[in-house]
């Protein structure tokens, strides 16, 4: 039958396209993993860069990325979880709630370089925080908000209504119910959102370009008011700005960054799946 032949042809084409999409992903991961391992060593991760960054390691960039990520968590978590609690437990359908949702969608869509401009305008210049870890963490924190809010709201909504009703009927107040019944049960889901948000923040370059990142620093940052090197920006610098840079450390830097980001992503999905398995409702 012609219809059957057409279906066979269509399915063949469709699966061909699907492979054309996925095979390059494997190639990219394979390329960075194999070439990156050549330049990877304990010394590479724990030494300061030397000789105009051509020699030595990436310690200050690694430390800087860890600081920025911790700072991002401190900025984003309270605000995002608060917003998620509000949307899931307090907000009623209406123009205000729609406006909040529209704002969150748009926060998620604002280009990262625009966050960088905003961070430069507000944190670095207007609030005079200077190019610093604080300014970078504040910028990254705002950028991370929408991911964390949506995931956390979903986790809070997934807690069954009976839990709330039982708590309220036993005489607990609304906030006591949220604090002692809803949030503990939603915690793994909220955590998933936070880790996902941080994995994005750790890999971002554009928001820290004018707010936190330094091209090269001879020492580790000593306080949150200092500028810092960071892995994503360091990769950009050694790939495009440093003349005669050997390829091995570039690939090793890319691999380090990819491993940090992917291990956070994997951690998020492990938290999520173990929580789904344990869930008692």
Partner 1 sequence: MDASRAALSRTTRPTRSGNRMEPWIERAVRLAGLSAIFIVALIFIFLIRLSLPALTRIPLSAFGDLRWYPIEERFGLVSLVVGSLLVTAVAVGIAVPLGLVTAIYLGEIAPPWLGDILKPLIEILAGIPSIVLGFVGWVALAPLVQRLGAPTGLTAFTGGLILAYMALPTIISIAEDAIDAVPKSYRDGSLALGATRWQTIYRVVLPAARSGIVTAVMLGIGRAVGETMAVMMVTGNAAHVPRGTSMLFQPVRTMTATIAAEMGEVARGGTHYHVLFLIGALLFLITFAINSVAARLVGRRRTGEGGG
d(CA 258, CA 270): 18
Q: Does 85 bind partner 1 (CB under 8 A)?
A: yes
Contacts for 260 with CB less than 8 Å, ≥ 6 apart: 65, 202, 203, 231
Mutual angle of helices 59-85 and 183-203, in 10-degree steps: 140
CB under 8 Å, gap of 24 or more: what pairs does 101-104 form? 104/145, 104/146, 104/149, 104/150
- Binding flag, residue 146, partner 1 (CB under 8 A): yes
Contact residue for partner 1 among 106, 166, 273, 274 (CB under 8 A)? 106
Binding window for partner 1 (CB under 8 A); candidates: 39-47, 49-57, 155-163, 232-240? 232-240
- Closest contact distance (angstroms) between CB of 48 and partner 1 is 22
Cβ contact 238:250 at 8 Å: yes
Interface with partner 1 in residues 170-209 (CB under 8 A): 171-176, 199, 202-206, 209
Give the nearer residue to partner 1 in terms of CB position, either 134 or 237: 237
* 165 scored as a contact of partner 1 (CB under 8 A): no
* Least distance from partner 1 to the Cβ atom of residue 42, Å: 22
What residues form DSSP beta bridges with 49? Answer: 56
Q: Which stretch binds partner 1 (CB under 8 A): 46-54, 55-63, 66-74, 103-111?
A: 103-111
The nearest distance, CB 256 to partner 1, in angstroms, is 10
Total number of residues binding partner 1 (CB under 8 A)?
Answer: 91
- Beta-carbon count within 10 A of 108 CB: 13
Which residues in the 206-225 window bind partner 1 by CB under 8 A? 206, 209-210
25 binds partner 1 (CB under 8 A): yes
Distances (CA, A) of 34 to 20, 254, 262: 22, 11, 16
* Residue 274 binding partner 1, by CB under 8 A: no
Scanning the chain, the segments in alpha helix (DSSP H) are: 2-39, 42-46, 59-85, 95-109, 112-119, 133-157, 161-169, 174-177, 183-203, 231-240, 247-278
In the range 43-72, which residues lie near partner 1 by CB under 8 A? Answer: none
Stretch near partner 1 under the rule CB under 8 A, chosen from 118-126, 155-163, 216-224, 273-281? 118-126
């Amino acid at each position: 039958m012609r219809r059957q032949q057409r279906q066979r042809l269509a399915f063949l084409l469709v699966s061909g396209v699907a492979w054309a999409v996925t095979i390059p992903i494997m190639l990219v991961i394979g390329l960075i993993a194999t070439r990156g391992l050549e330049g990877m060593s304990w010394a590479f991760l724990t030494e300061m860069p030397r000789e105009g960054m051509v020699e030595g390691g990436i310690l200050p960039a690694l430390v800087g990325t860890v600081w920025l990520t911790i700072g991002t968590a401190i900025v984003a978590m309270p605000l995002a979880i608060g917003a998620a609690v509000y949307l899931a437990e307090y907000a009623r359908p209406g123009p205000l709630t729609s406006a909040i949702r529209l704002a969150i969608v748009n926060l998620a869509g604002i280009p990262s370089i625009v966050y960088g401009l905003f961070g430069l305008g507000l944190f670095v210049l207007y609030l005079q925080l200077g190019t610093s870890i604080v300014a970078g963490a504040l910028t990254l924190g705002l950028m991370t908000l929408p991911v964390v809010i949506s995931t956390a709201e979903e986790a809070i909504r997934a807690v069954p209504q009976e839990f709330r009703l039982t708590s309220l009927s036993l005489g607990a107040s609304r906030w006591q119910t949220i604090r002692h019944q809803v949030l503990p049960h939603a915690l793994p889901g909220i955590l998933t959102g936070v880790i996902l948000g941080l994995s994005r923040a750790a890999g971002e370059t554009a928001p820290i370009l004018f707010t936190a990142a330094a091209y090269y620093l001879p020492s580790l940052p000593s306080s949150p008011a200092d500028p810092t090197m960071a892995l994503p920006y360091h990769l950009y610098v050694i790939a495009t700005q440093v003349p005669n840079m050997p390829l091995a450390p570039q690939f090793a830097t890319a691999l380090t960054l990819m491993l940090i980001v992917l291990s956070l992503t994997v951690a998020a999905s492990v938290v999520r799946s173990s929580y789904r398995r344990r869930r008692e409702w």
